[in-house]
Amino acid sequence: MSEQLPTLRWGIIATGLISSWFVQDLVLQRKDPKAKHIIQAVGSSSLDKGKVFVEKYIPGQCSNVYGSYEEVYANADVDIVYIGTPHAFHKKNCLDAINAGKHVLCEKAFTLNAKEAKEVFEAAKAKGVFVMEAMWTRFFPLTRKLLSLLHEEKAIGEIYRVFCDFALNQNISSLGPESRLKNPALGAGTLLDIGIYSLTWGLLGSDAGIGETASSLDVVARQTLDNGVDTATSAILLYPDGKQAIVTSSASFKTKSVFCTIQGSQGYVDIEGFTSAPQFFTVYSSDGSSKKYEFERPGRGFYWEADAVALDIAAGKVQSDIMPWAETIRVLEILDEIRKQGGSKFPQDSDGN
Ligand SMILES: NC(=O)c1ccc[n+]([C@@H]2O[C@H](COP(=O)([O-])OP(=O)(O)OC[C@H]3O[C@@H](n4cnc5c(N)ncnc54)[C@H](OP(=O)(O)O)[C@@H]3O)[C@@H](O)[C@H]2O)c1
């Protein structure tokens, strides 16, 4: 049975937190996988670190462990490179993998700004390889069901407003200057780390999250800055039809369970759980009835995006319909505008990002 599933051989770049979550989900035994995932290689800044990572998270499941990223790109048996470095390195890591002819799944935020993302997609286009931003939340069955209810079945009528927050108590002052959450050269700040999820829900709730451009939105934003790094961001996206999405992030406390509310002419939806990994949602209709939608989620839920990538690649596609290149660029253009108004800058930004 599993022989008939598309198979992807992954090369993992970096051995930090997100890579550990991703690889554990790749090898998770599941009831109904849509693809087969093999961890072909792991690359780290240090061979010892790489070995510890494999031993701890995927023991016996990867025999090619390298003390560099280059050796992963050079491994002829790697089909796709997963990039789990801090945002500031995504552009270089993506370009290196693409130049080696590899497909790429790169963590969010895809790059530091829209200009960098366009460069990566140009390179992917020239090489004919698949590239996608790993915005895993969009691939959850919960998210797909919600979008169908909101935008196809019009379960709450015309949508008027979306509120979404992602806040974590990150205790930034306790971190060292080289932390990716504190160092502007590593893309620090709540906006690219967690605010990107609030923005994602703002877009998904308002317009289904594809096919629109940043220029059709009026964006108003403010940021709280600590040494140039944003510790809180609030932004309003105003649509031409008057719809508003209010998206916020903070490093100072944890978002309450209902992290997103979507309001329409015939009711509202509350989404609960973790902003990046929702657990359930409830549709409250204006007639007083309500319905809760719950979904099974073994592990963390990274396999849904991984399966989708495998199916796309097997179908010969170079981009995803769920997270297409234009949507990654739209998200980054909005993030650029928020930072322009809010004041947070990265040393890698050129004038106007
Ligand atoms: N999808 C999600 O839910 C989610 C959650 C958390 C983070 N992320 C994203 O994943 C990326 C990494 O975040 P993380 O939390 O995994 O970070 P992390 O724990 O700090 O790990 C980052 C890894 O990148 C490598 N690296 C290369 N150069 C580095 C440098 N100068 N400083 C620090 N690390 C460097 C290191 O691995 P080696 O030493 O092995 O090379 C390091 O362990 C970010 O873009 C973040 O936004 C996504």
- CA–centroid distance, 180 to ligand 1, in Å, is 8
Instruction: Look up residue 165 and give its two tokens.
Output: 């927050």
> Atom 27 in ligand 1: which residue has the minimum CA distance?
85
Query: Which residue from 12, 13, 17 has its CB within 8 A of the most atoms of ligand 1, so it is best to mutate?
Result: 17
* Cα 20 to middle of ligand 1, angstroms: 10
Which domains, from first to last, does the chain contain? 2-135 (3.40.50.720), 138-303+330-342 (3.30.360.10)
pLDDT digits (tens, 9 = 90+) for 115-146: 999 999 999 999 999 999 999 999 999 999 99
Q: In the predicted model, what is the mean pLDDT of residues 318-323?
A: 98
Q: Which atom of ligand 1 is nearest to the CA of 302?
A: 1
Nearest protein Cα to ligand 1, atom 36: 14
Look at ligand 1, atom 37, and give the residue with the nearest C-alpha.
Answer: 14
CA of 186 to the centre of ligand 1 (A): 10
Centre of ligand 1 to C-alpha 189, Å, is 14
- Crossing angle of helices 114-127 and 325-342, in 10° steps, is 160
Model pLDDT, residue 3: 60
Q: Is pLDDT above 60 for 1?
A: no
CA distance readout (Å), 249 to 19, 44, 124, 164: 23, 31, 32, 9
β-sheet with 229-238: strand ranges across = 218-226, 229-238, 244-250, 159-167, 258-264, 267-274, 277-285, 290-294
Cis bond upstream, residue 315 (ω within 30): no
Which of 75, 74, 73, 81 is CA-nearest to residue 63?
75
Task: Name the band, by pLDDT with cuts 50, 70 and 90, for residue 351.
Answer: low
Ligand 1 pocket test, pick from 20, 49, 85, 197 with the greatest ligand atom count within 8 Å of Cβ, gives 85
Residue 283 CA, ligand 1 centroid: distance in Å: 36
Atom of ligand 1 nearest to the CA of 22: 1
pTM over 0.75: yes
- Where does the pLDDT of residue 350 fall: very low under 50, low under 70, confident under 90, or very high at 90 and above? confident
The residue whose C-alpha atom lies closest to atom 15 belonging to ligand 1 is 17
Pairing relationship of beta strands 7-13 and 36-43 according to DSSP bridges: parallel
Identify the H or E element spanning 141. Answer: helix 141-147
Q: What radius of gyration, in Å, describes the C-alpha atoms of the chain?
A: 20
CA of 122 to the centre of ligand 1 (A): 25
CA of 17 to the centre of ligand 1 (A): 6
Q: In the prediction, which pLDDT does 247 show?
A: 98
2: confidence class by pLDDT, cuts 50, 70, 90: very low
Ligand 1 centre and the CA of 231: distance in Å?
Answer: 19
Neighbours of 138 (CB within 10 A): 23
Q: What's the 16 CA to ligand 1 centre distance in angstroms? A: 5
User: According to the model, what pLDDT value does residue 172 have?
Assistant: 87
Q: Are 16 and 84 in contact (CB under 8 A)?
A: yes
Rounded Cα–Cα distance for residues 153 and 155 (Å): 5
Whose CA is closest to atom 44 on ligand 1? 86
The mean predicted confidence, pLDDT, of the chain is 96
Which residues, at least 6 apart from 269, have a Cβ–Cβ distance to it below 8 Å? 146, 149, 150, 155, 156, 205, 261, 262, 281, 282, 283, 284
Q: Strand 131-134 vs strand 229-238: parallel, antiparallel, or unpaired?
A: unpaired
158-210 pLDDT, tens digit per residue, is 999 999 999 999 988 899 999 999 999 999 999 999 999 999 999 999 999 99
Closest-lying ligand 1 atom to the alpha carbon of residue 193: 47
Identify the residues whose C-beta falls under 6 Å from ligand 1: 14-18, 44-45, 49, 84-87, 89, 107-108, 136, 180, 186, 193, 276
